[in-house]
Amino acid sequence: MADKVIVCKDCKADFLFTESEQAFYKEKGFDNEPVRCPNCRRARKNEKNNGFGGRDNRGGQRSQGRR
């Protein structure tokens, strides 16, 4: 398995999908290669996490301190 150069779906920049990342994806059972560079993946994840204000990362409602 060799390193692969992939073009990011969002910013169109080239990024490297290393041999060790490929092995990790295979170990975890991921079928698809990444389509976004690490910076765009991070930005997208932050958008998703910040966009749904009333929930914590486990999917439950946040405590508002009210009884």
Decide if 57 is inside a domain. Answer: no
**Closest to 9 in 3D by CA, of 30, 50, 38, 29:** 38
Average the pLDDT over 31-54 and give the result.
Answer: 88
Domain extent at residue 39: 4-51
Q: Domain for residue 59, yes or no?
A: no
Q: Which of 60, 44, 54 is nearest to 11 (CA)?
A: 44
* Percent of the chain surpassing pLDDT 90: 69
* Pair of tokens at residue 28: 């975890």
pLDDT at 12 > cutoff 90: yes
Neighbours of 17 (CB within 10 A): 16
CA end-to-end distance (rounded Å), the chain: 57
Q: Looking at the whole model, is its pTM more than 0.75?
A: no
- In-domain check, residue 61: no
Do the beta carbons of residue 19 and residue 2 sit within 8 Å? yes
